[in-house]
Chain A
Amino acid sequence: MKKLILATICVFCSAFIYAQEHNNTQKDTTKLEEITLIGRRKLSNYRQEKTLSSIDDYLEKSNKITMIKRGNYAWEPSMNNMNSERLNITIDGMQIFGACTDKMDPITSYVDVSNLQKVSVGSGQSGSENGHTIGGGIDLQLPNAKFYQSGLKTSVDLGYETNGNYKTGGLDLDYSGDRVYLNADGIFRKSDNYDAGDRQEVLYSQFQKYNISLQTGYKLNVKHTFDAAIIYDKATDVGYPALTMDVSLAEALITSVTHNYTSDSTFIESLESKIYFNTITHVMDDSKRPNVPIRMDMPGWSDTYGFYSKATMTINKHSFSVNFNGFYNRSLAEMTMYPNDPNQSAMFMYTWPDIRTLYSGIYAKDVYAFNDHASLSAAVRVGFHQNEIAKKTGLESLQIFYSSIEDTKNRVLSSFTTDYTFKKQHYDVSFSVGYGERAPSVNEGYGFFLFNSFDNYDYIGNPTLKNEKALEANFKANYHKRNFHIGVETSYFYIMDYIIGTIDESLSPMTIGANGVRMYSALSNARIFDVYINSSYKLSRSFSFNGTLGYNYGTGSNDENLPLIKPFSYSAEVNYYTSKFNAALQLEGNGNQSNYGSFYGEDETPGYAILNLNLGNELTIQNNKVVLKYGVENILDASYSTYADWNNIPRQGRNLYMNMSFVIR
């Protein structure tokens, strides 16, 4: 299999090398690829509220992203009210899949801010560059090798937060030479149980993790560079207060080798090819819980091999980009339960019966600029997707429920989007429509008695599910005049064969105390709508005010509200900013969640509002820089939980934090 993928890469690369001989020097500098992205902020540039905030904290600042929390660690991103299965989350274009059957390890938990340069977030089909998606794509991008000859740069980060006695330390070494680039960084995080409002300790909310990464680059000549990156991330002793189990080990090794080609004078302006491998081990553990109905071990493993090759080229007013990619994933998880009667032998099952996923596909995008104001883009992705149940036991166990299934299932997936953008001095407007498909996830297709503590049901995968398909429409408009800005952004998704669990009364749950069993099946359709209004006003050069309002709605063809749909939300911020000092007072809140998905086990979450104060200083001592960030979160020590908190676990109460960064040149 690996050989096949390698061979494919070689063929593809050589095809492009030949193609480069067609010289076409005509170029257009208009690049509009960022238009469809809703956020593409640079990380680690000390403009965040906390220089040492986690990826999770960082993502949550984006309008369309909400983090679903099962504890204080490893939050699951949700975009356009859709989570993991409906999103395509990649690390620098690399596919990577969590190894936990209960979604306790979203892949965002296996990287740290110190690893990344920026995060590309594409809503809906604009996020389909790296893979098929319904809700959108998030690409956590690693820094590119830089050959600045700037020598060695060292930075040290230290952080402390009072709530949970949360300590963070990081060290970053960066060497940039003429031909060689080297970056090494490490970060360590450790937190005890945090306190919710009114000093209520949230048990099992501790965590500890470290992350090391090493990146090297070698510049062969002006056109060719090679990069290699290794990230090792290990979390131990992670508590999940919302769940019945904790995690004793979540370990990831992420490796890649990349070749970059750039040229101004050839038809292919840039070609980036990568091969990668990553492996994840995840071990759930209940040994710290005093009362459980039954002791169990639930380890899981996920290995992924893959490649991509991306090229960009420009012809007249067209900017083309092409991405050919493929991966092979192996997901295996098992469960062993130890009966309370010691005479009975342990009970065992494969919860993910060694599922192999093979995908290969191609993405192509064209942006056509009519003039300086208007442009039209179109993108298409087509791919082949295959699932195989590699363990005979796994096939036979699923055949208990689906007697006629075979061990492999092939699918063809396609997606398409087009976008029109019009920009003038005081306003810009963009409109896009799209169609996307996705294959069911391993959980949805092949999970075996996976307990979901959200609705208290066991879930069984369905290998016969159809592809989920979505039609979407997005509209965005901004208006700015002098110091005033207002923008509106809205999306509507009409999702066909929407995959969700439905109760099967005839089945008996495996988990002791569960309400029953849900089999994954599909609603004929579901509709999700969101709208956000952003506004800002600059009172003076230093003072500004901004605010956001958001409204989301989601319902299925059974006339039931979908679960985990964000209620009415708002935020307001007053900012004071100079080059040496900044301060911000934030108000953030949600309305009452009245359209909750009771059918899916969700309960009503009352509204809340919290106040945060963030302050920052920047000092330069000789050539070295010191960045200081400090503040108070949840100043009023409100006791609250949001719709995205699994089983309504309460959020942090008042928290004083301080982050310090020293940059030594």
Chain B
Amino acid sequence: MKLKYIIPTLCIALFTLSCSSEDDTDPIINEVEDLSKIQEIDNNTHTIELFNETGKFETGYNTISLRIKDNATDRYVENASINWMPLMQMPTTAHSSPKSDISKALGMKTVYEGFIVYQMTNLDGSGWSLSIDYTIDGNTYNASSDIVVMQSEFQNVTSFTGADEKRYVLALMAPDEPKIAINKLKVGLFAMETMMSFQVVEDYRMTSDPRMPGMGNHSSPNNTDLIYNSAEQLYEGNLSLTMTGYWVLNLQLLHAAGELLKGEPVTEDHPKSSLYLELEF
């Protein structure tokens, strides 16, 4: 065998050997293998990496995984406490969106998670920024950046004013992958207290009437009302989908006392409630 083949082969072998030995002694944990990176937000000391399954933000409910890299050591921080604030800059005003707290993901060392519900966006995806405040070992830091939020194809979030004159945001959280079956339907409901503060609304109730406009507004049986689940802080019910395709979930929101806040029953003359979500599969 010629030397020119042997030398590169040896080099490659040596290189890979050295890499693996380094891994053995000093592993860099990768806990985001199944996720796609959306964006990095950095400051002088840290780089914050944002992940989800699709690798992009879209309007509606977004679960987000994030981790913080120490730029000095290239290692991921395991003991941060984190807060975030999404912000939509409008021509004359600005507002935030419903969001969760951020906590360490279950069974993970370096990954934190939470969700944000983007209720709208500009056509080109611009307008939103995300500011992250975090504390590590008693020191506080901030990182912020513009982010891109694309418009979802279907209405999976809606904001509206109820009969009580309050502003609400309603977002579809599950099913993530709908199927021809009885699906578990999960919906988040938030009241807009101020432009910057959204609170989970508890103990209301929603009726659900899924319909297929493409099939003469065909409905499905054995759907149940959406009831508040205090453990998960969302509304939950059964959603029957009898076939794949485009479905409109017609909803009616009822106050804890039973008073109708938004939405109408579906009839021949009124094929769609004013409060609805869409899904297609």
Contact = CB atoms under 8 A, between A and B. Distances in A.
B8 interface: no
B181 A345 contact: no
A287 B280 CA distance: 26
A449 B245 contact: no
A393 B180 contact: yes
A349 B281 CA distance: 12
B258 interface: no
B245 A400 contact: no
A345 B220 contact: no
A393 B240 CA distance: 13
Given A337-B214, A393-B180, A393-B181, A510 B243 contact: yes
A347 B243 CA distance: 6
Contact of B222 (A344, A400, A448, A513): A400
Interface in B62-118: none
Contacts of A347: 212, 214-215, 243-246
Given A293-B216, A347-B214, A393 B222 contact: no
Contacts of A513: 216
B190 to A, nearest CB: 29
Nearest to A340: B214
Contacts of B243: 335, 337, 347-349, 449, 510
B214 A344 contact: yes
A348 B214 CA distance: 12
Contacts of B244: 345-349
A642 B280 CA distance: 45
B243 to A, nearest CB: 4
A513 B214 CA distance: 13
A111 B246 CA distance: 42
B179 interface: yes
Interface in A336-368: 337, 339-341, 344-350
Interface stretch (A303-311, A501-509, A577-585): A501-509
Contact of B246 (A344, A403, A510): A344
Nearest to B223: A400
A51 B180 CA distance: 51
A292 interface: no
A344 B245 contact: yes
Interface residues of A, number: 30
Contacts of A509: 216, 218
Interface residues of B, number: 23
B128 to A, nearest CB: 26
Contacts of A350: 180
Nearest to B241: A400
Contacts of B245: 337, 339, 344-348
B221 A345 contact: no
Nearest to A449: B242
A350 B220 CA distance: 16
Interface string A375-397: 00000000000000000010011
A645 B217 CA distance: 32
A396 B180 CA distance: 7
A393 B244 CA distance: 11
A393 B218 contact: no
B215 A510 contact: yes
Nearest to B180: A397
Contacts of B179: 393, 396
Interface string B218-238: 111110000000000000000
Nearest to B217: A508
Contacts of A294: 214-215
Interface string B15-41: 000000000000000000000000000
Interface string A291-321: 0011000000000000000000000000000
Interface in B242-269: 242-246
A349 B242 contact: yes
B42 to A, nearest CB: 40
A594 interface: no
B210 to A, nearest CB: 10
Contacts of A506: 221
Interface string B165-198: 0000000000000011110000000000000000
Interface string A444-470: 000011000000000000000000000
B181 A397 contact: yes
A448 B244 CA distance: 13
A622 B263 CA distance: 89
A512 interface: yes
B221 A507 contact: yes
Given A344-B280, A506-B221, A397 B242 contact: yes
A148 interface: no
A509 B246 CA distance: 16
Contacts of B280: 344-345
Interface centre among B215, B217, B222 (most CB of A within 10 A): B215
Contact of A508 (B213, B219, B246): B219
A517 B214 CA distance: 18
Contacts of B218: 508-510
B212 A400 contact: no
A67 to B, nearest CB: 33
A345 B246 CA distance: 7
B215 A403 contact: no
A506 B209 CA distance: 13
A401 interface: yes
Contacts of B222: 400-401, 403
Nearest to A350: B180
Given A400-B181, A400-B220, A512 B215 contact: yes
Interface centre among A347, A349, A396 (most CB of B within 10 A): A347
Contacts of B216: 293, 509, 512-513
Contacts of B220: 400, 508
A293 B219 CA distance: 17
A448 B242 CA distance: 9
Contacts of B181: 393, 396-397, 399-400
A126 B99 CA distance: 73
Interface of B: 179-182, 212-222, 240-246, 280
27 contacts: A294-B214, A294-B215, A337-B243, A339-B215, A339-B246, A345-B280, A347-B212, A347-B215, A347-B243, A347-B245, A348-B244, A348-B245, A393-B179, A396-B179, A396-B180, A397-B181, A397-B242, A400-B180, A400-B181, A400-B222, A400-B242, A508-B217, A508-B221, A509-B216, A510-B215, A510-B218, A512-B216
Interface of A: 293-294, 335, 337, 339-341, 344-350, 393, 396-397, 399-401, 403, 448-449, 506-510, 512-513
Given A347-B243, A349-B242, 7 more contacts: A335-B243, A341-B214, A344-B280, A345-B244, A345-B245, A345-B280, A347-B246
Q: What 7 A-B pairs come out closest when comparing CB atoms?
A: A347-B245, A396-B181, A339-B214, A349-B243, A508-B219, A512-B216, A344-B246
